[in-house]
Amino acid sequence: MTDQMQHITLASRPNGAPVPDNFALETCAVPTPKDGEVLVRVHYMSLDPYMRGRMDDAKSYAAPVPIGGTMEGGGVGKVIQSKADGFEPGDYVFGMLGWATHAIQPAKMLRKIDPDIVPITTALGVLGMPGFTGWHGLMEYGRPKAGETLVVAAATGPVGSMVGQLAKSLGLRTVGIAGGADKCALATDTFGFDACLDHRAHDDARSLRAAVKQAAPDGIDIYFENVGGKVLEAVMPLMNPFGRIPVCGMISWYNAGGLGAGADAPMSAPALWRPILVNFLNVQGFIISNHWNQYPTFLTEVTPKVIRGDIKLVEDIAEGLENAPEAFIGLLQGRNVGKQIVKVI
Amino acid sequence: MTDQMQHITLASRPNGAPVPDNFALETCAVPTPKDGEVLVRVHYMSLDPYMRGRMDDAKSYAAPVPIGGTMEGGGVGKVIQSKADGFEPGDYVFGMLGWATHAIQPAKMLRKIDPDIVPITTALGVLGMPGFTGWHGLMEYGRPKAGETLVVAAATGPVGSMVGQLAKSLGLRTVGIAGGADKCALATDTFGFDACLDHRAHDDARSLRAAVKQAAPDGIDIYFENVGGKVLEAVMPLMNPFGRIPVCGMISWYNAGGLGAGADAPMSAPALWRPILVNFLNVQGFIISNHWNQYPTFLTEVTPKVIRGDIKLVEDIAEGLENAPEAFIGLLQGRNVGKQIVKVI
């Protein structure tokens, strides 16, 4: 065991889209756990769109990463030293381990995972925060009913693919939106979407709207909102009366510089609010960290589906901690295919 | 009984704010009821912001009034001829009688009202559609809790004053917004708002927001949305986590020409959508006509409060059917004080 570790810190706040210089790869001594703490060797770390928000100091649902602080994020790894009851070297755990090769965490912030049931990377995607987000948002706020039509963007991502597969299994017509023909093929062939539209083939919301209208001839009952921007503009006028819009993310706006900026959204505020009134829509923003009490129910319900292959997953694994910034920049541009993970060791 | 009647028709569709030329006062023969129908002499008719929507042919929750058609609206009056069981001449009724001195309606579309319990005009305001809208929106979607803060605009109108008084009686801090110092005094002195802000004293949303922030130092838990525009922009950044926004109207945008227009709303779409995500807000559009099954419950609950004076009402009564267009134009400009009614006879 080396006594040095690496971690990636926030070197500067991005002005719009993050660039490599916003990150710094640093080396320091591996810390020693105190009583009640556990030292973990990180095997895989997760990259997720919400991390873009942590890089700003704008008011949001979580405190920003301070300049010079280690980038936050979930990871899975193996316990290498424990000063806490219930954790032994060799145990696999999930925790908010950060963008790092090693992490110290209080035992209560770690969750043991069993590598014999499903691959440990699933704790970052299909059975982790993103999959849980899709399940909770769809079931709790989407209130799906057989025969209805659902639209979700980032359809091959870990949230969108969970939403689409669950909705399909419940008898809904599922229309995905994704970036590129390859992703659209993945959406229909692997994730079972009834149709998938390539948003890159449409220059503006109007053009995309015409395509969605064709793919959703009976209108849209549930729009699972995880991107904002052009897709939101395209679908709002197509929502059916009493439609539901769970909102878990607006990735297309994350680079817009926070509240007040709107260069990516030429549609007016009234145009995006009036349909709420006119079609009696329910729009529910949520962030999954407020709902962890539902996580055991999710695992109980969905783990067997993953084991049986009823819920499929696709992972995009970058190699090496040093490549995490580039992979994250790519994620925000939609260059990943499936759940973006970094293999740290 | 004269054999002539008057009614006001839609002469042309407005381009922006309605003008007198959009309406025509016409005379015709009083029709004769067929079997199952009732002829009503209209005593009072209601003017409501939703009627602006009926003047456009844009897609909305109800069909537009056709050019040359009688303007729609609720009214109360006395039966003068009946070919339906259960209705006798002299009965007072409420129905969608239109902008007219007389109306024929199928019996099942009329509701008898008892003039000995409360004044018949209350069927148009505090105990009619507007009051019911306020009650349903607040109780069902606002989910008020003692100690929380509620903001509502058009605070002296029949919806806003119902919302404010109910919320206050449930232990909430109530902040009204109204146009002019006189209305603000009415809101606090008569309707019991803890504070009321004059939106005319604030040139833009930012200035209004600073004032709301002072009046709602703990943030906003419920914003009852009935105006849109500047007020919505002012309050969105002040919403507390898990806040609720029932949406029953957006009067400030009604003259904007429907979807796509946004001259009144300089704030961007992302700025008005991101708070939904960041603060886990619930936004619920509704139109009260989908919820008439709750109306008896509303009447049972609220009528005694009106009789006891626990719920106060203010009416603004214009004289004569011929003055309805001018009164309606004034309503859209906020010139009325309290529930706008037209005394037809």
Does A273 contact B237 at a Cβ distance shorter than 8 Å?
Answer: no
Please give the pLDDT value at position A2: 57
User: Any CB–CB contact under 8 A between A217 and chain B?
Assistant: no
Residue in B closest to A287 by C-alpha: B280
Residue A262 predicted with pLDDT over 50: no
Which letter, b or e, does each residue of B2-13 get, where b requires 16 or more Cβ atoms within 10 Å of its Cβ?
Answer: eeebbbbbbeee
3-state secondary structure A53-108: HHCCCCCCCCCCCCCCCECCCCEEEEEEEECCCCCCCCCEEEECCCCECEEEEEHH
Residue in B closest to A265 by C-alpha: B269
Q: Taking residues B103-126, what's their average pLDDT?
A: 97
Query: Which residue is listed with tokens 């109910």?
Result: B166
User: Any CB–CB contact under 8 A between B287 and chain A?
Assistant: yes
User: Any CB–CB contact under 8 A between B273 and chain A?
Assistant: yes
Does B274 contact A280 at a Cβ distance shorter than 8 Å?
Answer: no
More confidently predicted of A310 and A267: A310
Please give the pLDDT value at position B8: 98
Q: Taking residues B10-37, what's their average pLDDT?
A: 96
Show which of residues 34-73 on chain B sit within 8 Å of chain A, judged by CB atoms: 59-61
Please give the pLDDT value at position A229: 85
Q: Which of A6-20, A212-226, A263-277, B192-206 has the lowest mean pLDDT?
A: A263-277
Residue in B closest to A53 by C-alpha: B278
The complex's ipTM? 0.86
Does B282 contact A282 at a Cβ distance shorter than 8 Å?
Answer: yes
Which of A61, A237, A253 has the CB atom closest to B270's CB atom? A253
Residue B85 predicted with pLDDT over 60: yes
Instruction: Determine the Cα–Cα distance for residues A47 and A311; give it in Å rounded to an integer.
Output: 21
Residue in B closest to A283 by C-alpha: B283
Q: Taking residues A113-118, what's their average pLDDT?
A: 96
Query: In angstroms, what separates the C-alpha of A222 from chain B's closest C-alpha?
Result: 14
User: Any CB–CB contact under 8 A between B283 and chain A?
Assistant: yes
Does B250 contact A277 at a Cβ distance shorter than 8 Å?
Answer: yes
A&B contacts, CB < 8 Å: 141
Please give the pLDDT value at position B263: 40
Which of A237, A259, A279 has the CB atom closest to B274's CB atom? A259
Does B270 contact A228 at a Cβ distance shorter than 8 Å?
Answer: yes
Confidence of residue B81 (pLDDT cuts 50, 70, 90): very high
- The conformational region for residue B180 under phi > 0 = left, psi -120 to 50 = alpha, else beta, is left
Which of B237, B247, B279 has the CB atom closest to A276's CB atom? B247
In the structure encoding, which two tokens stand for residue A203, read together? 């220059």
Residue A260 predicted with pLDDT over 60: no
User: Any CB–CB contact under 8 A between A253 and chain B?
Assistant: yes
Which of B241, B271, B284 has the CB atom closest to A282's CB atom? B284
Sheet-wide strand order for A149-153: A195-198, A173-178, A149-153, A220-224, A239-247, A282-285, B282-285, B239-247, B220-224, B149-153, B173-178, B195-198
**pLDDT > 90 fraction of chain B, expressed in percent and rounded:** 86
Is it true that domain B4-121+313-343 has CATH number 3.90.180.10? Answer: yes
Please give the pLDDT value at position B258: 37
Instruction: Determine the Cα–Cα distance for residues B246 and B283; give it in Å rounded to an integer.
Output: 6
> Over the stretch B255-298, which tens digit does the pLDDT of each residue have?
554 333 334 445 677 788 889 998 999 999 999 999 999 999 99
Query: In angstroms, what separates the C-alpha of B64 from chain A's closest C-alpha?
Result: 13
Which of A273, A279, A282 has the CB atom closest to B228's CB atom? A273
Which of A241, A260, A277 has the CB atom closest to B268's CB atom? A260
Which letter, b or e, does each residue of B268-293 get, where b requires 16 or more Cβ atoms within 10 Å of its Cβ?
Answer: bbbbbbbbbbbbbbbbbbbbbeebee
User: Any CB–CB contact under 8 A between B333 and chain A?
Assistant: no
A23-27 long-range contacts, Cβ below 8 Å, gap at least 24?
Answer: A23/A71, A23/A324, A23/A325, A25/A321, A25/A322
Chain B hits for A279, Cβ within 8 Å: 61, 285
User: Any CB–CB contact under 8 A between B16 and chain A?
Assistant: no
- The conformational region for residue A180 under phi > 0 = left, psi -120 to 50 = alpha, else beta, is left
Please give the pLDDT value at position B267: 67
User: Any CB–CB contact under 8 A between B241 and chain A?
Assistant: yes
Mean pLDDT of chain B: 93
User: Which overall architecture, per CATH, does domain A129-288 show?
Assistant: 3-Layer(aba) Sandwich (3.40)
Residue A254 predicted with pLDDT over 90: no
Does A250 contact B273 at a Cβ distance shorter than 8 Å?
Answer: yes
Residue A253 predicted with pLDDT over 70: no
Residue A261 predicted with pLDDT over 70: no
The CATH code that applies to domain A4-124+313-343 is 3.90.180.10
User: Any CB–CB contact under 8 A between B326 and chain A?
Assistant: no
Residue boundaries of the structural domains of chain A: 4-124+313-343, 129-288
Instruction: Determine the Cα–Cα distance for residues B285 and A282; give it in Å rounded to an integer.
Output: 6
> Over the stretch B171-206, which tens digit does the pLDDT of each residue have?
999 999 999 999 999 999 999 999 999 999 999 999
Residue in A closest to B226 by C-alpha: A277
Q: Taking residues B323-345, what's their average pLDDT?
A: 96
**pLDDT > 90 fraction of chain A, expressed in percent and rounded:** 86
Does A277 contact B247 at a Cβ distance shorter than 8 Å?
Answer: yes
* Cα angle value B134/B138/B144 (rounded, 5°): 150
Q: How many alpha carbons fall within 13 Å on the CB side of residue A175?
A: 27
Which of B269, B279, B284 has the CB atom closest to A269's CB atom? B269
Chain A hits for B262, Cβ within 8 Å: 268-271
Does B260 contact A271 at a Cβ distance shorter than 8 Å?
Answer: yes
> Over the stretch A173-217, which tens digit does the pLDDT of each residue have?
999 999 999 999 999 999 999 999 999 999 999 999 999 999 999
User: Any CB–CB contact under 8 A between A249 and chain B?
Assistant: yes
User: Any CB–CB contact under 8 A between A279 and chain B?
Assistant: yes
Is B95 exposed, middle or buried, given 0-12, 13-18 or 19+ CB atoms closer than 10 A? buried
Query: In angstroms, what separates the C-alpha of A63 from chain B's closest C-alpha?
Result: 12
Please give the pLDDT value at position B91: 98
Query: Which residue is listed with tokens 């439609």?
Result: A243
If we measure between CA atoms, which residue out of A111, A128, A120, A18 comes closest to residue A344? A120
Q: Taking residues B119-143, what's their average pLDDT?
A: 98
Q: Taking residues B123-143, what's their average pLDDT?
A: 98
Residue in A closest to B286 by C-alpha: A280
